[in-house]
A and B are shown apart, each in its own frame.
Chain A
């Protein structure tokens, strides 16, 4: 089937199988920031935004995303820089494999919640797993980032 999906403001038309995932589609369109960790909806590495809402691209069908606006990290590089500077300053990354999905969800959280408590932050991000860091540096970076005026 032929579908068109807008990714980071540009339309991409492709022939896909009905069971092609959005993850495969965005990677085929050159968005290599999007990673796949578990393929079972648990790790959050494959997070992209669909019409501004974070979703797991490993589990959304490309056919269902047709006609919607998809945003990957490549589409919000400037917005993400503020946060990634804090991540770097706090030494909050090791291998960095989880970062693109994590950053997409932190940016979505900043847009959605004003003044979240520590436990609201933890709950919002509970679907983003990191096998290296233990989350302490990430939490420091998030707290600093949340204080920055939007």
Chain B
């Protein structure tokens, strides 16, 4: 369990950012589910729950997902289902349990860029943007690849357009970490395919109009960890991609 010297609930993002950058061990709190497993000595813990970042908003031509939106909101949002089918529901419904997903946040999940992240895999399959307080708005691919830096993730911005999408994952046991994750979206015959838990963090593996599951797999790196070997992952990757492509083709 982490320790906290001071608890701060800022009333605006500027105040949160100032507090974050005031000392090296000052830390933003998302849902605290991941932080809780660590042993960080936190100076000032910055609670974003007073900043109205907990809504999924239809802005007209985009859908904005606030950083403090819970994974359960992501799972049950009708607005997201109307645009992207069951992509988000299928991506997060296997994560631990309902109570957990009521608390874990989108901001913490995306900022963490965890190798096993179902959330990052799903987002990479869409032309999502990440709104950061200091750096501004950047693409999810750029964010996923960049090194960690102190900033406040305010929201995720998605185009409000209908995508056919599918989420596939391989888990040895329900609610365990995934062994491999894969998401596919398609709009106007252009496919975006992401693969995660390789176990390296998810990446955009393909963007184009004639996806070939084996060729996409051949271009990816896989490694071994306690859950599965690189070889095993390389073998199941085209299977997951093909399943997702099949589902997307049915949706279309």
Contacts and interface: CB of A to CB of B under 8 A. Distances in A.
Are chains A and B native binding partners rather than an unrelated pairing?
Answer: yes
Interface of A: 1, 17-19, 39-42, 44, 47, 53-56, 58-61, 63-64, 105, 108-109, 123-128
Contacts of B7: 1, 18, 61, 63
A44 B175 contact: no
Given A55-B102, A55-B103, A61-B32, A127 B2 contact: no
Nearest to A40: B37
A127 B175 contact: yes
A18 B33 contact: no
Nearest to B34: A41
A105 B101 CA distance: 13
Contact of A44 (B29, B47, B99): B99
B150 to A, nearest CB: 20
7 closest cross-chain pairs (CB), A and B: A127-B97, A18-B7, A18-B4, A19-B4, A63-B7, A54-B99, A59-B36
B93 interface: yes
Contact of B96 (A39, A41, A55, A63): A41
Interface in B58-100: 93, 96-100
Nearest to A108: B98
B33 A41 contact: yes
Contact of A64 (B29, B33, B37, B100): B29
Given A18-B6, A54-B102, A108-B98, 11 more contacts: A18-B5, A44-B97, A47-B99, A55-B99, A55-B102, A56-B103, A59-B33, A59-B103, A61-B29, A123-B98, A127-B99
Interface string B6-17: 110000000000
B1 interface: yes
A46 to B, nearest CB: 9
A64 B7 CA distance: 9
Contacts of B6: 18
A63 B102 contact: no
Contacts of A42: 96
A108 B97 CA distance: 13
Nearest to A19: B4
8 contacts: A1-B7, A18-B5, A44-B97, A53-B102, A58-B36, A61-B7, A108-B98, A127-B175
A37 to B, nearest CB: 13
Contacts of B36: 40-41, 58-59
Contacts of B96: 41-42, 126-127
A81 to B, nearest CB: 22
A27 to B, nearest CB: 16
B18 interface: no
A124 B4 CA distance: 32
B138 interface: no
Given A126-B174, A127-B98, A64 B47 contact: yes
A60 B1 contact: no
B78 to A, nearest CB: 15
A60 B102 CA distance: 11
A59 B3 CA distance: 13
Contact of A105 (B37, B93, B98): B98
A70 B47 CA distance: 19
A124 B97 CA distance: 7
Contacts of A39: 1
Interface in B21-41: 29, 31-33, 36-37
